[in-house]
Amino acid sequence: MSEHDFLAIAPITTVAVFSLIVMLVDALVKKNTSLMQTLSVVGLLGGIGVAIWTLPKSLNGFNGLVAGGGMTNLFDILFCSAGILTVFLAKDYLERLGGHFNEFYTLLLMATSGAMLMAHATDFITLFVGVELMSICFYVLAGFLRRQVRSNEAAIKYFLLGAFASGFLLYGMALIYGTVGGTGYADVAANAATVEMPFIFWAGVALMIVGLAFKVAAFPFHQWAPDVYEGAPTVIAGFMSTAGKAAAFSAFIIFLNSVYGSGVEGTDRVQILLAVLAVGSMFIGNVTAIAQTNVKRMLAYSSVAHAGYMLIGLAAGSPDGSFGIIYYLIAYLFMQLGAFAIVGLLENEKGCNLTFDDYKGLSKRRPGLAMVMAIFMFSLTGIPPFAGFFGKYQLFKAAIGAEMTWLAICGVVASVISVWFYLGLVIAMFFRDSEEKQAEGGTLGGLSTAALAVAVVGTLVIGFLPQAIYDLLS
């Protein structure tokens, strides 16, 4: 063990230690809510700080179990930012809906460190530990509004199906281990081309793709997503659909790079498979979203579609594709979390006020929120000059670069379909009058305002200064 080992996991350690501290504070200190929030934010900021500090290094630790520095740390920053925004949003929301338990912060930090471990993993074992750490926290968080039947249902469904998917992931790892003779990605890259029984190797790859596709909510393993996102507390749905998805994509990228890089025959089939999954996700997600009357559910389906857009980058299988995914994830973080934040703000104590009808005339009642929501919707649609446009641009460019123009065209068509419901919401907010009104959600607290402001600024900055982000990433 050396200094390198600990530097490689330093960001994870920071967040994990803080999750323990927060847990102890919860147990030992009375009247501790604001202290826990502060500590959570400090821990996540610390994670970002350490990640930035080790960003320029290229680290390998614990005999190839984890890596650090570079792209990995970018993901760390992404997860921690999502965590901070979620902490900001959580207080108002959970208190209003009567689900404010202090465990929330511990679980959120642990989920974040799990996500970070997934990004750092260069070995199946570490990957699996990360996946489970994140997922188990998510299962609990999904059921956090324990007095609501929907929330309980979401937790149980997510747990059942998630355990099912984890099983396949693990099975895939085992098969690959059996063929390449090691659990590290390095072993895959080194030995995959010369395995004695390629079909077992490919079955393993297939199962791993299935497991990860479940985590990113890609077609046809996406069906849990709408039910879970709808039932889970809205702030958690936002966190799951951004950080959770990003973590799975980080693992996806690193794993597939080792497969692509091994020179094994048949990677073209992987690319086609991913392209098909991408097309399926984009179309199923966007088309089904049209029929939704519940905004939260609509966002859930749209998150399936966004997973599809990002799968395009994986299908391209090029550095450009990976870059496009990271770029898109950053953009997606702000717009998706922002959209969920507003949905959470408008949700009332009974967990209602979520349908398109309830959003009618919002521009008159709460013009600021309606305006901000419109920005997120435009960005999610991919209308320039908002963040979403440049994210899609990078991905489609990567597809064309990989001679998969048809895939880019499918992406554009799917985006056009998505105009229907995204702008449908904008139209409802600005051009329709409400007939009867339910009790409307909460007032905009200081922290929520800050989080929304960050999300809007992020969406706009990425949109208006894509080059700056581009330079930052490269």
Partner 1 sequence: MASTLLPFILLLPFVGFLLNGLLGKKIGSEKAIGTIGTAVVALPFVFAVVLFFEMLGAPPEGRTMHVTLLSWIAAGDFSVDFAYQLDQLSMIFLLIVTGVGSLIHLYSIGYMHGDRGFFRFFSYLNLFIFMMLNLVLADNFLVTFLGWEGVGLCSFLLIGFWYDREFEGTAIKWTGDAAKKAFVMNRIGDLGMLIGMFILFSQFGTLKYAEIASGLPGSMSAEMMTIATLCLFLGACGKSAQIPLSVWLPDAMAGPTPVSALIHAATMVTAGIFLVARNAALFSMSHTTMAIVAGVAVTTALIAATVGLVQNDIKKVLAYSTVSQLGFMFVALGVGAWTAAVFHVMTHAFFKALLFLGSGSVIHGMHEEQDMQKMGGLKKYMPQTYKTYVIGSLAIAGVIPFSGFFSKDEILASAFANGNAILWGVGALAAFCTAFYIFRSVFLAFHGEERFDHTHVHPHESPATMTIPLWILAVLATVGGFLGLPIVLGEHVHVLHNWLEPVFAQASANMHGHHLSHTLEWILMGVSLSIAILGIFLAYRMYVKRPELSDRFAGSFKGLYKLLWNKWYVDEVYEEAVVKPVWKASKSVLLKGVDKGIIDGTLHGLAKLTGEASNLFRKIQTGIAQQYVLVFMIGILVVIGWLVFGGG
Partner 2 sequence: MTPQDYLPLIVMVLTGIAFGAVSIKAHEILGPRRPSKEKESTYESGMQPVKTAHERFSVKYYLVAMLFILFDIEVVFMYPWGVTFQDFFDQGMGTLTLVAMLLFIVTLLFGYIYILKKGALKWD
1 binds partner 2 (CB under 8 A): yes
Q: Name which of partner 2, partner 1, none residue 1 binds, using a CB cut-off of 5 to 8 Å depending on partner kind.
A: partner 2
User: How many Cα atoms are found within 13 Å in the side-chain-facing hemisphere of 49?
Assistant: 8
412 binds partner 1 (CB under 8 A): no
383 binds partner 1 (CB under 8 A): no
**Alpha carbon distance, N-terminus to C-terminus of the chain:** 31
For residue 196, the minimal CB distance to partner 2 (Å) is 6
Closest listed residue to residue 37, CA positions, set 81, 79, 91, 82? 91
For residue 234, the minimal CB distance to partner 2 (Å) is 26
Among 10, 23, 217, 277, binds partner 2 (CB under 8 A): 23
347 binds partner 2 (CB under 8 A): no
Q: Name which of partner 2, partner 1, none residue 266 binds, using a CB cut-off of 5 to 8 Å depending on partner kind.
A: partner 1
Q: Name which of partner 2, partner 1, none residue 197 binds, using a CB cut-off of 5 to 8 Å depending on partner kind.
A: partner 2
**Residue 114 is encoded by which pair of tokens?**
């799990």
CA–CA dist 451, 405 (Å, integer): 38
Q: Name which of partner 2, partner 1, none residue 205 binds, using a CB cut-off of 5 to 8 Å depending on partner kind.
A: partner 1
- φ and ψ at residue 437, rounded to 5 degrees: -120, 135
139 binds partner 1 (CB under 8 A): no
How many C-beta neighbours within 10 Å does residue 77 have?
19
For residue 397, the minimal CB distance to partner 1 (Å) is 8
Q: Name which of partner 1, partner 2, none residue 20 binds, using a CB cut-off of 5 to 8 Å depending on partner kind.
A: partner 2
**113-145 core/surface letters (b: 16 or more CB in 10 A; e: else):** bbbbbbbbbbbbebbbbbbbbbbbbbbbbbbbb
CA–CA dist 277, 178 (Å, integer): 27
Q: Name which of partner 2, partner 1, none residue 453 binds, using a CB cut-off of 5 to 8 Å depending on partner kind.
A: none
For residue 315, the minimal CB distance to partner 1 (Å) is 14
Closest listed residue to residue 399, CA positions, set 311, 280, 458, 461? 311
Binding to partner 1 in span 152-181, by CB under 8 A: 156-157, 160-161, 164-165, 168
Which own/partner contact pairs does 450-454 have at CB distance under 8 Å and 24+ positions apart? 450/88, 451/85, 451/88, 451/89, 451/337, 451/341, 452/338, 452/341, 452/342, 452/372, 454/85, 454/334
27 binds partner 2 (CB under 8 A): yes
**Residue 329 is encoded by which pair of tokens?**
């994830």
Q: Name which of partner 2, partner 1, none residue 226 binds, using a CB cut-off of 5 to 8 Å depending on partner kind.
A: partner 1
CB closer to partner 1 out of 269 and 364: 269
From the centroid of its chain, how far is CA 302? Answer: 13
Q: What is the three-class DSSP state of 264?
A: coil
CB closer to partner 2 out of 1 and 439: 1
Q: Name which of partner 2, partner 1, none residue 290 binds, using a CB cut-off of 5 to 8 Å depending on partner kind.
A: partner 1
Among 18, 138, 139, 214, binds partner 1 (CB under 8 A): 214
31 binds partner 2 (CB under 8 A): no
For residue 109, the minimal CB distance to partner 2 (Å) is 13
For residue 139, the minimal CB distance to partner 2 (Å) is 14
**Residue 13 is encoded by which pair of tokens?**
């350690």
Closest listed residue to residue 322, CA positions, set 414, 415, 251? 251
Amino acid at 17: V
Among 284, 298, 314, 335, binds partner 1 (CB under 8 A): 284
248 binds partner 1 (CB under 8 A): no
Among 79, 185, 224, 239, binds partner 1 (CB under 8 A): 224
CA–CA dist 79, 91 (Å, integer): 19
Q: What is the three-class DSSP state of 441?
A: coil
Binding to partner 2 in span 173-202, by CB under 8 A: 196-197
Q: Is the separation of the CB atoms in 154 and 232 below 8 Å?
A: yes
291 binds partner 2 (CB under 8 A): no
Locate tokens 């919707």: which residue?
A: 377
Closest listed residue to residue 442, CA positions, set 357, 351, 361, 360? 351
Q: Name which of partner 2, partner 1, none residue 471 binds, using a CB cut-off of 5 to 8 Å depending on partner kind.
A: partner 1
Per CB under 8 A, residues contacting partner 2 are: 1, 20, 23-24, 26-28, 196-197
Per CB under 8 A, residues contacting partner 1 are: 156-157, 160-161, 164-165, 168, 199, 202-203, 205-207, 209-210, 214, 220-221, 223-224, 226-227, 265-266, 269-270, 272-273, 284, 287-292, 390, 397, 417, 420, 465-468, 470-471
